[in-house]
Amino acid sequence: MSRFIQVSAPDLSGNEKKYVNDCIDTSWISSNGTYIKRFEENFAQFTGAKHAVSCCNGTVALHLALLAFDIKPGDEVIVPSLTFISTANAVKYCGATPVFADCLPDTWNIDPLDIKKKITPNTKGIIPVHLYGNPCEMDEIMAIAKKHDLFVLEDTAESHGAKHNGKTTGAIGDIGIFSFFGNKIITTGEGGMIITDNDELANKMRLLKGQGMDPNRRYWFNIVGYNYRMTNIEAAIGLAQLENINEHIKNRGQVADWYKEFLAPLVENGQIILQKITPNSENVWWMFSILLPEKSRINRDELAEKLLKDSIETRPLFYPMHIMPPYLDKNAACPISEQIALKGLNLPTHAKLTRDDVLFVCEKIKQYMIG
């Protein structure tokens, strides 16, 4: 019997324990402490952004960014239907309307042509999501935004360190947000980060995340804010993770290469389909995923069930948001998102996997796909 192969697992082999113990020993465990500033400064440097603002999770990061853009009821923000629901939820928190765009059939990212179709006089911005670590077509998206005077908020929750045309995702649009949930490329357990080059937006988000307290007058509040702060302990873990992020990304790339090697016969025979890397981009492989074609001898859910019996954990791709109860929209017209979501499977993808682990997963897939 093989060991259980998790779909994701954090690598905490650096200075995480040392830094957390330092927080405990010095009693700086809450939302003040030196690790917060160090994590923010180092993350800004890593992404090439002028400002990095820490917060308590990726969804909060989206909300803060939209508040900084002054999104309000009556506004529309274009988001991909094929993504995690937090992208749409954050728009809804502002009382605004998420408008769903379809995805490209090869990269699975938001389709720039469909973005153009969904723009109305009420559209204020676009939130491209770099799905599973694969950068979007940011040149086209930025050109559309410039033409229509829209903001671009990059949802970079899954693509820490990915690049498009040599520039780090998150640092291409007006604001970029990151998630540090336990299954992400680097983690703080929970946690988020917002990056921008805009001084005014950065200051507004810092004010909003700390209850709106005047930074120059303690306990004086000019606005209604939120308690969206990161703790010093979380930042300590994040700083240790960031110290090894290039190694984490390298290891994930190796895992992806093994999958490509071992699954090549199935790909060549059209028995599975892989996500295509966006041109001029570097995918960081948050998740290595496969699609099963229409006429496959086994469907996605059946394959996942069989793999689980072999102690291999998988996950389905995200459901399109426009088919879920809170956002049900029969007129959304996102057929490609629906097709991909129903056929796709995330395979185990993390830095702790060995070549033998990946080989075992692929041999089982071949067994069930070929018979």
pLDDT tens digits for the chain (371 residues)?
458 999 999 999 999 999 999 999 999 999 999 999 999 999 999 999 999 999 999 999 999 999 999 999 999 999 999 999 999 999 999 999 999 999 999 999 999 999 999 999 999 999 999 999 999 999 999 999 999 999 999 999 999 999 999 999 999 999 999 999 999 999 999 999 999 999 999 999 999 999 999 999 999 999 999 999 999 999 999 999 999 999 999 999 999 999 999 999 999 999 999 999 999 999 999 999 999 998 888 999 999 999 999 999 999 999 999 999 999 988 889 999 999 999 999 999 999 999 999 999 999 999 999 87
The pLDDT, as a whole number, for residue 93 is 98
Q: Using an 8 Å Cβ cutoff, are 345 and 292 in contact?
A: yes
Bin 74: left if φ > 0, else alpha if -120 < ψ < 50, else beta: left
Nearest to 346 by CA among 318, 320, 306, 309: 318
- The superfamily CATH assigns to domain 246-370 is Aspartate Aminotransferase, domain 1 (3.90.1150.10)
**What is the C-alpha separation between 92 and 98, in angstroms, rounded?**
7
What values do phi and psi take at 164, rounded to 5? -130, 120
Q: Where are the domains of the chain?
A: 16-244, 246-370
Exposure string of 298-312, with b = 16+ CB inside 10 Å and e = fewer, is bebeebbeebeebeb
16-244: CATH topology is Aspartate Aminotransferase; domain 2 (3.40.640)
Residue 305, Cα to own-chain centre: how many angstroms?
Answer: 26
Q: Using an 8 Å Cβ cutoff, are 132 and 287 in contact?
A: yes
The pLDDT, as a whole number, for residue 329 is 86
Q: Using an 8 Å Cβ cutoff, are 162 and 284 in contact?
A: yes
The pLDDT, as a whole number, for residue 2 is 58
The pLDDT, as a whole number, for residue 1 is 47
* Residue entry with tokens 């796909």: 369
Structure tokens at 294: 């229409």
Q: Which residues contact residue 7 at a Cβ distance below 8 angstroms, ignoring those fewer than 6 apart?
A: 183, 287, 313, 314, 315, 346, 347, 348, 349, 350
**What is the C-alpha separation between 213 and 289, in angstroms, rounded?**
44
Bin 59: left if φ > 0, else alpha if -120 < ψ < 50, else beta: alpha
The three-state (H, E, C) secondary structure of the chain, written as one string? CCCCECCCCCCCCCCHHHHHHHHHHHCCCCCCCHHHHHHHHHHHHHHCCCEEEEECCHHHHHHHHHHHCCCCCCCEEEEECCCCCHHHHHHHHCCCEEEEECECCCCCCECHHHHHHHCCCCEEEECCECHHHCCCCHHHHHHHHHHHCCEEEEECCCCCCCEECCEECCCCCCEEEEECECCCCCCCECCEEEEECCHHHHHHHHHHHECCECCCCCCCECCCCCECCCCHHHHHHHHHHHHCHHHHHHHHHHHHHHHHHHHHHHHHCCCCEECCCCCCEECCCCCEEEECCCCCCCCHHHHHHHHHHCCECCEECCCCHHHCHHHCCCCCCCHHHHHHHHHEEEECCCCCCCHHHHHHHHHHHHHHHHC
Structure tokens at 164: 């498009």
The model carries a pTM of 0.96
Residue type, 23: C
Query: Any bridge partners for residue 123, and if so which?
Result: 76
**What is the C-alpha separation between 317 and 143, in angstroms, rounded?**
29
Structure tokens at 363: 């041999």
Please determine whether the domains at 16-244 and 246-370 fall in the same fold group of CATH: no
Q: Using an 8 Å Cβ cutoff, are 158 and 178 in contact?
A: no
* Residue entry with tokens 């939130």: 127
